[in-house]
Chain A
Amino acid sequence: MKEGNILEIKDLCVNLMTVRGIIYAVQGVNLNVKEGEIHGIVGESGCGKSVSTKAVMKLHDEEKTEYTGNIDFLSSKGEVDIVPLNKKQMREIKGKDIAMIFQDSMTALNPIMKAGEQIAEQLRAKLGLSKTDAKKRALEMFEKVGILPAEKRYEQYPFEMSGGMLQRVMIAMALSCEPKLLIADEPTTALDVTIQAQILELIKDLQRESKTSVIFITHDLGVIAEICDSVSVMYAGRVIETGTVVEIFDEACHPYTKALLESNPKEGDQGEYMKTISGAPPLLYEKFTGCPYAPRCDYATEECQGALPETVVLNATHSVACHHYKRVRGEE
């Protein structure tokens, strides 16, 4: 692993066996997350954002999922490849070294267990704390994420809390064991805009304080710009462009990234039609031999149909997978 990286995903493929056949949900993802950074993953629904990050915690049904490639992770016990780990070894990492926040906090918490207890339970199981210590620590976490008054909230059940509060509980839970990596899977999508801003601010603050690395999945480019250090753009189960936020927003080299940025509404756009990308992302029932974006791409040529584009490294932080990136940048 490279110095300073906490996670290196190499050629990750995830195949999901379903009743309708195999879904090649992730088709060779390469992704690096540096220590202490917030790395955004952006893309349309069904592009493999969630599937690839859930693979990092092996949360898919093990009997119906096939993983190939490497997921190298710098755990508290040193470097490990997550792909070959068994259930028991994985349990050592889950909850303690890697934690996850989910989109819908209303259903992601056990409806009939006290909110505080759901955190205390994890502290007892993962850190071996006693009942009283676990409760004390859970109350501290509640105060940290702004669930007040902590004592009262500790005893409440999820149905007695609002969506924003529940997401705070999720965050408190995820960070309670001081993980090295936090995966946030669209944590603000189900919330209304004002609460969204609060939750983003909270995640940013806590991240700055704890220096935890974060993978932040979203389809909202505005959110990416606000909190991320670097970004990976995913399309049809692959990462098609990676770079720092500045590189992605100002020097995008992939036609899809460009189109995504152009379809983001800006201030002062009034009276004009919103730009969209015509067509829909492909279904993932087969492996691609050509560029999966070609049918929707303005730059596509015959070359794109015939060969899957290699990832080209432009500089230490910026890389792109497109045959025509130079033309997109206007160099040709």
Chain B
Amino acid sequence: MKEYVKYIGKRIIAMIPILLIVSFAIFFLLRLSSTDEAAVIIGERQATDELKARVTQEYGLDKPELIRYFDWLKGVVVGDFGKDYDSGQDIGELISSRIPVTLGLVLISSALGLTFAIILGVISALHRNKPLDTGISLVMLFFCSVPSFLVSVLVLLILTKFIPGYSFIGTYNNFGEFLQRISVPAVIMALNQLALLGRVTRSSMVSQLQAPYIVTANAKGLTDKDITYKHAFHNAVIPVLTVAGMSFANAIGGTVLIEQIFSLPGIGGLLVSAVQGGNYPVVQILVMFMLIVYLIMSLIVDVLYVVVDPRVKLQ
């Protein structure tokens, strides 16, 4: 246990340079574009030269870029994320109201996707080349190859037709509504993950069931249950974990699209409008947030790896 705490601590410290490098890159890449930040803050129409000069002064837009970066970084470290160019609202407040939707989508869809992928993948492998396997594989192939935005639109069309007077999209006022709003998009995202992870589980399980050590387990006279779960499954789950890590990362990006389709007040929608409107402080913070979620997800996967596979050691 102490080993794990030490390892996780080490990994968290190792994240700091990654965060610094990425924040630096993002900051300067954004500044490469020709957007006039003062005009964005005032609003294109009202931007007179006089107003612009005042805003430039107030926001320190005329300082050298490097100094602006370190000013921004200082702010972030003490929890001051800067102000939204559009509304003047504090960015910390702005995104904290939007985190639940995105985090909810990522976590619920990943958990659902992984769980059902493993269940269906194992069932498929145990019924290899039989109708049940073919059926499961076909469904998975469908969700693997059809983009989730198309599925989303189809599902929305069907649901609104059959359950009229029920709103599947938009904002929420309480926790019950929150769950209602994110359940459909979370399931759609889960289907997409399930398709990939399920196929990996199936092929991994199939190859493990044919491994020589399974013949040994059989010769030892163990029950089918022990052979399948204690021996084959434990080995089969290792590559699934690897792909799950990547799949979780994809899910973070996937929220951008799905939040747009379902008009959910999440990080994704905010990011799109911030990029389009040249609202750089918001873009910077959101990218950093997504990066942190990604890093934490991969840390969890790496730790799980050590738990599952004795050949992998904490270093």
Residues on A lying within 8 angstroms of B by beta carbon are 57, 59, 87, 91-96, 99-100, 102, 104, 107-114, 121-122, 125-126, 157, 159, 170, 173
Q: Which residues of A contact B211 (CB under 8 A)?
A: 107
Partner of A108, one of B215, B224, B226, B234: B215
What's the nearest-Cβ distance from chain B to residue A187, in Å? 13
Q: Which residues of B contact A157 (CB under 8 A)?
A: 310-311
Q: Which residues of B contact A100 (CB under 8 A)?
A: 216, 219
**Size class of B's contact patch?**
20 to 34
B59 at the interface (CB under 8 A from A): no
Q: Which residues of A contact B219 (CB under 8 A)?
A: 57, 59, 94-95, 99-100
The 4 closest A-B CB pairs, nearest first, are A95-B221, A94-B221, A95-B220, A107-B212
* Complex CA–CA separation, A54 to B255 (angstroms): 54
What's the nearest-Cβ distance from chain B to residue A78, in Å? 18
A selection of 17 A-B contacts at a CB cut-off of 8 Å is A94-B219, A95-B219, A95-B221, A99-B219, A99-B220, A102-B215, A102-B216, A109-B216, A110-B213, A113-B234, A121-B226, A125-B220, A125-B221, A125-B223, A125-B226, A159-B311, A173-B220
B309 at the interface (CB under 8 A from A): yes
Do A91 and B213 have beta carbons less than 8 Å apart? Answer: no
What's the nearest-Cβ distance from chain B to residue A170, in Å? 8
B57 at the interface (CB under 8 A from A): no
State the total of A-B contacts with C-beta under 8 angstroms: 73
Do A102 and B226 have beta carbons less than 8 Å apart? Answer: no
Known A96-B221, A100-B219, A121-B222; judge A111-B231 contact (CB<8 A): no
* Complex CA–CA separation, A277 to B40 (angstroms): 89
Q: Which residues of B contact A94 (CB under 8 A)?
A: 218-221
**Binary interface encoding of chain B residues 210-247 relative to chain A, with 1 for a CB under 8 A from any of its CBs, else 0:** 01110111111111101000110011001000000000
Partner of B234, one of A92, A109, A112, A122: A112
What's the nearest-Cβ distance from chain A to residue B309, in Å? 6
Q: Which residues of B contact A87 (CB under 8 A)?
A: 224
* Complex CA–CA separation, A121 to B230 (angstroms): 10
Residue of A with least CB distance to B217 = A110
Q: Which residues of B contact A107 (CB under 8 A)?
A: 211-213
Q: Which residues of A contact B231 (CB under 8 A)?
A: 110, 113
Partner of A95, one of B222, B230, B311: B222
What's the nearest-Cβ distance from chain A to residue B72, in Å? 47
Known: A108-B213, A111-B213, A122-B220. 9 other contacts (CB 8 A): A59-B218, A107-B211, A113-B230, A121-B222, A122-B221, A125-B221, A125-B223, A157-B311, A170-B216
